[in-house]
Amino acid sequence: MIIKPSSLGDVVHALPAVSAIRSRFPQAELHWLVNTEWAPILEDNPDLSGIIPFPRKQWTRGWRDLGKARAWAKEKFSELKPDWTIDFQGLLRSGLLARSSGAELKIGFQQAREGAPFFYTHKTRVENWYQTHAVDRYLQIPAALGCEIDRPKFKLPRGDSIELPDLTEKWILLHPFSRGKGKSLSFEEVAEFCRTCAPVSVAVVGAGVTWPSSSPFPENAIDLLGKSSLAQLIWLMRNAAWTVSVDSGPMHLAAGISDRVLSVHTWTDPLMVGPYPESAWIYREGQILQRQELAPGQFPENRKAKTEFSNRDSLLPDTEIARIAGFTVDQVLR
């Protein structure tokens, strides 16, 4: 059984590790415990025997809901009876789930947090943990199990189609907002990006955000804010000529689908938390580079700047949005 409930980007990052395990153990039954909201990512995955939707949002009171969570786990795991449990999450809750599974082997990371390693029977140590991309970090567990680590495979579903108005033959998908502080574009920057891309069409997506009624939406863009499901977002990413996204879970989803991605970073290290494909693109501090061009420590994480970026009216300096848009249009029209 695989335990990786969240988040969106991290579930995507664990896909290659699970694919490697499937290749090494073709007859095994692999079931993945995942938060209900992220389960669509795993639909029709040929590496999985089943999906266990984890109703995390039903338990919002912390320790006071522990009894309910235990009862849920007992019922699920008594049916499944796993022999092995692999915890890619590495937190207290996932460690408790691993323990509750009843599996003989409970595998996780030595550097897992919140006391989770206490619940494991076998621990994998990752050298240079904080300098290793999550995809490569997760691949260390199948490597320890004797799996061959080939080119990472992100087996994502086709997604659900969504009806779109007339767009240019090649169009851009823009995901401009993030839950993380100091990462989201302003509405004015979104509008500027779209206008600069004209006449190329832009589809703007994002959850939990609505466009302000006081601001006209750019004529060459379509407003899909809060109007697409996760499965539809996957379809949009597959059909867009290019995806531009701030540092967020959907960015990692796009990078799992294609290298036609530009990820906009402010204070995070794009080598560590940016798009995984070597040929994907990143922006930070006025530079647009492919991931393969990045050197360790070139753009170190700067948490002190998080608040500064959060308090800005505009995320990026003047002219940078137009520059990012111009680069994207050039890529689309090649």
**Secondary structure in 3-state letters for 54-66:** ECHHHCCCHHHHH
* pLDDT value for 63: 63
For range 243-257, the mean pLDDT:
98
Residue 156 lies in a domain: no
Residue 110 lies in a domain: yes
Q: What is the CATH number for 302?
A: 3.40.50.2000
Residue 229 lies in a domain: yes
Does a cis peptide bond (omega within 30 degrees of 0) precede residue 215? no
Residue 259, pLDDT above cutoff 90: yes
- The pTM assigned to this predicted structure is 0.95
Domain residue limits at 102? 2-144
Residue 64 lies in a domain: yes
Of 97, 128, 144, which residue is a domain's last? Answer: 144
Give CA–CA dist 277/267, Å, rounded.
Answer: 20
Which of helix, strand or coil describes residue 126?
coil
Sequence-ordered list of residues with C-beta below 8 angstroms from that of 104, at least 6 positions apart, any chain: 83, 84, 121
Based on the fold, state whether residues 139 and 269 are members of the same structural domain.
no
Based on the fold, state whether residues 198 and 120 are members of the same structural domain.
no
Based on the fold, state whether residues 136 and 190 are members of the same structural domain.
no
Based on the fold, state whether residues 322 and 195 are members of the same structural domain.
yes
End-to-end CA distance of the chain: 45
Domain count within the chain? 2
Among 8-12, 245-249, 312-316, where is mean pLDDT lowest?
A: 312-316
CB atoms near residue 215 (< 10 Å): 11
pLDDT digits (tens, 9 = 90+) for 143-174: 999 999 988 999 999 999 999 988 999 999 99
pLDDT digits (tens, 9 = 90+) for 85-119: 999 999 988 998 999 999 999 999 999 999 999 99
For range 38-51, the mean pLDDT:
97
Pick from 310, 313, 312: which is nearest to 181 by CA? 310
Residue 153 lies in a domain: no
Residue 133 lies in a domain: yes
Based on the fold, state whether residues 81 and 210 are members of the same structural domain.
no
Give CA–CA dist 184/206, Å, rounded.
Answer: 11
Give CA–CA dist 330/294, Å, rounded.
Answer: 22
* pLDDT value for 141: 98
Residue 158 lies in a domain: no
201: exposed, middle or buried (Cβ count in 10 Å: 0-12, 13-18, 19+): buried
Based on the fold, state whether residues 206 and 110 are members of the same structural domain.
no
pLDDT category of residue 4 using cuts at 50, 70 and 90: very high
Pick from 85, 97, 88: which is nearest to 15 by CA? 88
